[in-house]
Every structure is written in C-alpha cells, then in structure tokens.
Amino acid sequence: MTNYASTKSRVAAVSVLASASMAAAKFAIGIAIGSLALISEALHSSIDLVATIITWLVVRVSDRPADDAHHYGHGKIESLSALGVIALLYVLAGGILVEATSRLREGAPPPAFSWLAFGILGVDIVVNSWRAWALHRTAVATKSQALAADALHFSSDVLGSFAVIAGLSLSAMGFQWGDAAAAIGVAVMISILGLRLGRSTIQTLLDRAPEGVSEKARDVISAVPGVVGIPRLRARMVGPTHFIDALVEVPRTYPIDRIDEIKRRADEALKQVYDDADLTFTAVPVARDNETVCERVMVIARNSGLAIHHVTVHDLGCKITVSIDLEVDGNMPLIEAHDIAHELERHIRDDFGTDVEVETHIEPLEPEMPHGSDAVPQRTEEIRTALVKLASDGVIYNVHNVRVRDTEAGEIVNFHCYADPSLSVIAVHEHVDRMERRLRRDFPTVKRVISHAEPPNAD
C-alpha cells in the first residue's frame, strides 16, 4: 500500500507541472489569434490543472489506514473528488456551448492564422497522450478513481486538441464557422467523457458490487474444504480495497480451531485472487445430511458444556436407544449430577423426538493433571510380564513400551502392542479390552490401562 501511495502521488505531481505549462501556452496563443476553440481547450486544461492538484492532495489522504472514525479507510474521498471535477467540467462545457453558439449566430470573424498555434497543439497532443497513458496505467494498478478521472481528462485534451486543429484548418480555408464548431466539439467531448466517469463514480459511492467480484469470491470461498454453503455474500469497493462480507455455513460438529482454520484458508485463497481483499467471515454452524446420531449427541452435549464419552447407539426399528457416559465433578452431590444428566437427556429428546430412549451413566471427571511419578523398574517389569502372558493367545503380541506411573488415584499403565493388520478395529478392541480388564483384576491398584495397538512395522 505504501508503494501504491508513493506511485500515485508522484504521477499526480508530475501532471500538475505539465498541466500548468500547457494551459498557459494555449491560453496565450488563443487570446493572441482570437480562437474560441483554442481558448476553450486552454480553459479545459486549466480545469485539468485544478483537478490534478485536487488529485495530488486527495491521494495523500485516501491511502491513510482505517481509524476509529473511518472503519473502511479513506478511499471514498477519491470518488468525491472525482464528482467535484466532473461538475467543473460540465460547467466549462456549458460555458463553451453558450459562447460558441453566440459566435455562430452573430457571425464573428475567424481567428488569425498562426503556425505557432498548430505547433503548440502538436506538443500538447504528445504530452497529454503520454500523461493519459501513464495515469491510466497507474490508476488500473492502484484502483484509484481519482487518477482514473485525471487520465480521462487528458484523454479528452488529446481529442480536444485534434478538434481545435480541425477548426483552425477550416477557418484557414475560409469557413468562418470552423473555430466555433471546433469549440462545440470540445464541449461535447467533455460532456460525454464526464458522463462515463460519473457513472462509475456514482456506482462506487452507492456501494454497487464490482463487476464479477461477488461470483468470483463465492467460487473461491466455496472451494475451501469444510465450507458447506454460502447463503449470503456481499462485496464493495472502498478506494483500491475489495471488502467481502461472507456468511459461511460450516459443519456444526467441527471444533472452533478447525473452523478458524477454514476462515484462514478462505482469506488466503481470496487474497491470491484480490491481493487487497478484506474478508469478513461469519461462520454459521449447520447440520449436514450425513451427520450420524453419535455426532448429533456429541454436539448437544458440547453445546451444554458437558463432557461425555462412550456414546452407544442402537436402532431397534421402532425407536433409537442412546447410552452415554457423563463426566462430572467427583465432589458434586448426586442430586446435582442427576439434574445435569436429566437436562442432557431432555435436550437429546428435543432433538430426536420423545420416543428416543436415553440412559446416562454418571462418573467422576478425571483430574486434568493428577500428581504422580514413574513406578520403580521392578514394578514396571512385573506388569509388563503380566501383559505378555495375557497376550499369549497370539492375536495381540509383542507387548512393548510399557510405562507404569503412580498417582494419588492409583497406578496408570500405558503400553503398545502389535495386532494383525487385517483385523477389524472392533476385533482388536475386544482383545485389548479383555487384557485391560484382566490386568486390573490381577492388580487391584491399577486404576487405568491405556493401550495402543498398531500393525507391525508401523511408523
């Protein structure tokens, strides 16, 4: 943005000097030879000078960052300045038309012939053509309406200079009306070009969506994995910045950090298309058609701020049964815990219907960081040997990485083991679960057993 600001300011400053010198030269020669067309073109260039000075000042303000009073930045000041310059151009066009028609009606004498007039107009065409090209290129690169208006002025100057040359040539050939007709041509060109710029400027001030931006932004955001739909998307331009406001549907089963990742990817994808894009991403959690009963139950519990696990669902044909393990503070009175469970069951019935059967098992919540220490090596080896014997059926084998830790609640055992890769998860879980139950039976001080079954040669 800093580079854009310096580029716009530099181009606008160069235009000030060029406008002043050309306007003064055309005005002086126009007065000397009595050419209304040349004087009109000089006045047009004078307004361009005023417009260029305004542009130079405006671009220094429009690139200021957003603040407490201007949340979307200061870019629209360029549109306001463009409207002001357009108004000046129409005042000038009206004055030229009045004077030209008056000369035609009164039969005013033609201007005196001077090669100097043709020379200065030739120089003017070359200078203004270069300026119009440079300003247009910079306006496109920086999306500056103020510079676009300035480029349009100089383009009209080029056309106006050709019209004046034609008028002076007609006058030199004896057509008295040539100069006044050329002046009318200048006024008409000013009006047409002003109308074209005014239309785009007013559309920007009215927050008209930029052509094709909404459709492109919708396609880009929709392509981000995790986006379910975009019920609403709005786009507008403020100066060079594309402001995109999107209401995006995401699966309600996703955690907050995953939704935040979707937002980050959407912002990055949009900036690859519009590097100046400013995205407002509002996530709306929605239920998908393929959402399972278990996922729906987990969402209901999460929305209630409850911790549950071991959600078991059975379809009995005529009804659904749901079993849940609900974790609550172990020091909580049973009456309070029962009320929490009852409320959770009510929410589930509200979602699935009153005929759903819900059973809740209440258990104490495990402490987040229980105090403990590693067991002595002899104890670890004793439990490792027991686990190896329990895995003697051959389905589970190569028990390794056994760790035993002493905590205030009892011993915690972690171990890894191998299983046949072709076995289903259910089959492996049943064998490992049987080992865990037998270990706790043989070692009553073991509070919890955490196993990790993996295929051989797994990374």
Residue 248: per-residue pLDDT? 93
Topology adopted by domain 372-454: Alpha-Beta Plaits (3.30.70)
- What is the CATH code of the structural domain delimited by 293-364? 3.30.70.1350
Residues 100/184, Cβ–Cβ less than 8 Å: yes
Q: Do domains 2-205 and 293-364 have the same CATH topology?
A: no
Give the residue, 230 or 152, on which the prediction is more confident. Answer: 230
- What span, in angstroms and rounded, lies between the C-alpha atoms of 48 and 155? 11
β-bridge mates for residue 293, sequence order: none
Topology adopted by domain 2-205: Alpha-lytic protease prodomain-like (1.20.1510)
Mean pLDDT computed over every residue of the chain = 80
Tell me the whole-structure pTM to 2 decimals. Answer: 0.50
Give phi and psi for 181, each to the nearest 5.
-65, -40
* Burial letters 207-220, b for 16+ CB under 10 A, else e: eeebeebbebbbeb
Q: How many CB atoms lie within 10 A of CB 363?
A: 13
How many CA atoms, within 13 angstroms, populate the side-chain half-sphere of residue 75?
Answer: 23
Q: Based on the number of CB atoms within 10 Å of its own CB, is 249 exposed (0-12), middle (13-18) or buried (19 or more)?
A: middle
pLDDT at 33 over 70: yes
Q: What is the mean pLDDT of residues 201-230?
A: 82
Q: Which band of pLDDT confidence, cut at 50, 70 and 90, is reported for residue 381?
A: very high
The torsion angle over the Cα atoms of residues 186, 188, 190 and 195, rounded to 10 degrees, is: -170
Residue 7: per-residue pLDDT? 58
The torsion angle over the Cα atoms of residues 190, 193, 194 and 196, rounded to 10 degrees, is: 160
Q: What is the mean pLDDT of residues 361-383?
A: 83
Residue-wise pLDDT for 134-189, tens only, equals 777 877 776 665 566 667 667 767 777 777 788 778 877 877 777 778 778 877 87
Residues 453/418, Cβ–Cβ less than 8 Å: yes
Q: Which residues contact 2 (CB under 8 A, 6 or more apart)?
A: none
| Edge-first strand listing for the sheet containing 278-286 | 229-238, 241-251, 278-286
Q: Could you state, in order of their start, the residue ranges of all structural domains in the chain? A: 2-205, 213-286, 293-364, 372-454
Q: How many CB atoms lie within 10 A of CB 446?
A: 18
Q: Based on the number of CB atoms within 10 Å of its own CB, is 109 exposed (0-12), middle (13-18) or buried (19 or more)?
A: exposed
Chosen CATH of 213-286 out of 3.30.70.1350, 3.40.50.12640, 3.40.190.10, 2.40.160.10: 3.30.70.1350
Residue-wise pLDDT for 91-148, tens only, equals 777 777 777 777 777 666 667 767 777 887 788 788 778 777 877 787 777 666 556 6
- What span, in angstroms and rounded, lies between the C-alpha atoms of 100 and 102? 5
